[in-house]
Amino acid sequence: MGARLSLFADAYGKTWSMCLALLLFFGVVGLLAYRLRVKRLDFRIPARPVFWACVLPGFVLMAVCLTLIDKPYFQMSDLTKNWLFMFSAFLGVPLSLPMLAGAAWAAAHYVQRIPIRVPSLALLMLGMFALGCAASNIHDVVWCGAITDWYVHHHKAGYDLDYFVALGRPFGISREVLADYATLGPCAVVLVAGELFVALACFLRLGKPYDSGQRV
């Protein structure tokens, strides 16, 4: 336990500025989702077009991700295949969930013969996107834990953490620190917390009444 606490403390000590910025970002997004109201965007649209606009791209996206995640034998470099695999693994769920949720939301409205309120659709899709991102980052926490014997030692990474290195560059955090699964895991915990906060704010706002007495 002491080694794990030491590793987490070391990771947060070196990345505290980035983690704080991430928490502030998610905090602002969550508060805006819960409290902001833009009257010009408070209108209704027909449910049927929304259903098809969500279900068709959602279906295509899932098919593409399920194909690429298996690294198919296409005529392309291994590096390209690996990047496509990571796109499918990390963004497939976050991008698919909002589309499927939007389709289900639209189908429910269509059955009841009522139009969709745009703010409610936006909140639902944003909340599901945040929830999908949290699920993807939980994968990072577990994966990084497994490869570091549950956070008792460091394990250097390769190009697969280039996006993480780029995220920390504006905060002056070196590649040596960030290209390490023992650093990614603790930072992913921060991401999960922030994303769950945004999702919770969106879903709570769905039940928050407007001045007119109607729900969002």
Q: Where are the domains of the chain?
A: 1-37+120-216, 46-115
Lowest mean pLDDT among 37-41, 45-49, 95-99, 118-122: 37-41
Q: What is the pLDDT of residues 16-64, one digit of tens each?
A: 999 999 999 999 999 999 988 888 888 899 999 999 999 999 999 888 8
Q: How high is the pLDDT of residue 213? A: 45
Enter the pTM of the model: 0.87
On the question of pLDDT at 108 being above 70, the answer is: yes
> Region 55-82: what's the mean pLDDT?
80
Rounded CA-CA distance 48/116 in Å is: 9
Amino acid at residue number 153 = H
Burial class from Cβ neighbours inside 10 Å (0-12, 13-18, 19+) for residue 15 reads: buried
Asked if residues 215 and 208 have their Cβ atoms less than 8 Å apart, the reply is yes
Secondary structure in 3-state letters for 106-160: HHHHHHCCCCEEHHHHHHHHHHHHHHHHHHHHHHHHHHHHHHCCCCCCCCECCHH
pLDDT averaged over every residue in the chain: 88
Rounded CA-CA distance 63/162 in Å is: 26
Percent of the residues in the chain that have a pLDDT greater than 70, as a whole number: 95
Rounded CA-CA distance 157/153 in Å is: 13
